[in-house]
Amino acid sequence: MSVPAPRSSIMSLKPYVPGHSGADHNAKLIYLCSNENPLGASPRAREAIIEFAGRLASYPDGGATALREAIARKFGLDTNCIAVGNGSDELLEMLAAAYIGDGDEGLYTQYGFLVYPIAITAAGGVAVCAPEKDLRVDVDAVLARVSEKTKLVYITNPGNPTGSYIPFEEVKRLHAGLPAHVLLVLDAAYAEYVNRNDYAAGIELVASAENVVMTRTFSKVYGLAGLRVGWMFGPREVVDVINRIRGPFNVNAGAQAAAVAALADDAFVARSVEVNTAGLAYLTAELEALGLTVSPSVTNFILIHFPDQDGLRAAEAERYLRSHGLLLRGVAAYGLPGALRLTIGTEDANRKVVDVLKQFLSGHRTS
Ligand SMILES: *Cc1c(COP(=O)(O)O)cnc(C)c1O
């Protein structure tokens, strides 16, 4: 007797395990594990959702026209070059599904998003990983792994969970080194938080090339992770391809309405970035003062390294923090067992993290 069998490579995948999130609704816990906006979402987005409650029986606009136009206006782009997705995850997956065939290779980097190898493998491709150098994308290592079979390259910039970035000059050098038929996907989920003159999310490169797309999300600085909305800017041809394979109503009506409202609330975004910038500086300085190593970050999270690289110390710290109501993200799945990822929180939450880690370190002194 035979049973339905998937493509064999799919059984080699491990399901993506999300961190805990505020959706758990445990008021006793502070969720600093999923890079969610600690300020919540714009009140305008909330109003849009309340209004949407009166239209639940109607299908969404399948073309997401109002949302794509709002994005185009905000960023000065052509509406026809924008596609939206059920989170940027969906766009990242659809790109692999469209451009990778059986036996083709998709490239990603050592600490790149775990979604990439899943998307490449699910599409029937072979996921090829390029090592990073000092927790940063290494352009030469990526270029060295391009083969005749390579169809797509995913770069997270800034990186997660590293918090690092590569300057736009490096992104351009990477692009210049790729054959014209390879699609370069720039995942810029944290672009809004970056405050560096030499960083660019990639809009300029997309506009001047035929093989580059940039993905963005409403899940981070806009605080709409629960609604699942992401967008992509790419050549018309690539957007056309996505339109052929996506579900006809892939972004729901409430998500579209809330995203339009969130885009209009510049003050909320500005305040979110401000709180993050202050928290990032505070936490980096305070945790270093405690003797911990913190990777420099341009995002809304930091990677904290504990001295014992086997991860015992990090795991112990994670448990200790949890017992004090603070949830951080273990990053062993990214090959970093000795580190924890901490999302920048509110001022109160950040102070609590420092206090609890101070207790942890003083109570656990090995000397
Ligand atoms: C959070 C995040 C995203 C956003 O995913 P959504 O599906 O839009 O919520 C994309 N890429 C990376 C690297 C992220 O950390």
Same domain membership, residue 123 and residue 77 = yes
Q: Residue 232: which domain range? A: 43-263
160 lines ligand 1 (CB under 6 A): yes
Can you tell me the mean pLDDT for 348-358?
A: 97
Contacts of 197 (CB under 8 A, 6+ apart): none
93 lines ligand 1 (CB under 6 A): no
pLDDT digits (tens, 9 = 90+) for 173-217: 999 999 999 999 999 999 999 999 999 999 999 999 999 999 999
CA 61, distance to chain mean position in Å, is 26
Same domain membership, residue 213 and residue 144 = yes
Same domain membership, residue 100 and residue 182 = yes
Q: Is residue 3 part of a domain?
A: no
pLDDT value at position 318? 96
pTM of the predicted model as reported, rounded to 2 decimal places: 0.95
Number of domains composing the chain: 2
Ligand 1 centroid–CA 138 distance in Å is 21
Coil, strand, or helix at residue 210? coil
Q: Which atom of ligand 1 is nearest to the CA of 230?
A: 8
Give yes or no for residue 366 having a pLDDT over 50.
Answer: no
Type and span of the H or E element at 70: helix 65-75
How far are the Cα atoms of 71, 188, 224 from residue 265, in angstroms, in the given order? 13, 20, 13
pLDDT digits (tens, 9 = 90+) for 12-61: 888 877 777 666 767 789 999 999 999 999 999 999 999 999 999 999 99
Point out the domain boundary residue: 229, 263, 297.
263
Same domain membership, residue 172 and residue 76 = yes
Contacts of 162 (CB under 8 A, 6+ apart): 111, 132, 135, 136, 295, 297, 303
Contacts of 245 (CB under 8 A, 6+ apart): 94, 97, 98
**What is the pLDDT confidence band of residue 11, given thresholds at 50, 70 and 90?**
confident
pLDDT value at position 6? 86
List the CATH number of the domain containing 354.
Answer: 3.90.1150.10
pLDDT digits (tens, 9 = 90+) for 270-319: 999 999 999 999 999 999 999 999 999 999 999 999 987 667 899 999 99
Burial profile 274-297: b = 16 or more Cβ within 10 angstroms, e = fewer: ebbeebbebbbebbeeeebebbeb
86 lines ligand 1 (CB under 6 A): no
Q: Where are the beta strands (DSSP E) in 267-319?
A: 293-294, 301-305
Same domain membership, residue 22 and residue 124 = no
Which of 16, 34, 36, 88 gets mutated to test ligand 1 (max ligand atoms within 8 A of its CB)?
A: 88
300 lines ligand 1 (CB under 6 A): no
Give yes or no for residue 367 having a pLDDT over 80.
Answer: no
Give yes or no for residue 365 having a pLDDT over 60.
Answer: no
Same domain membership, residue 316 and residue 221 = no
Point out the domain boundary residue: 212, 229, 263.
263
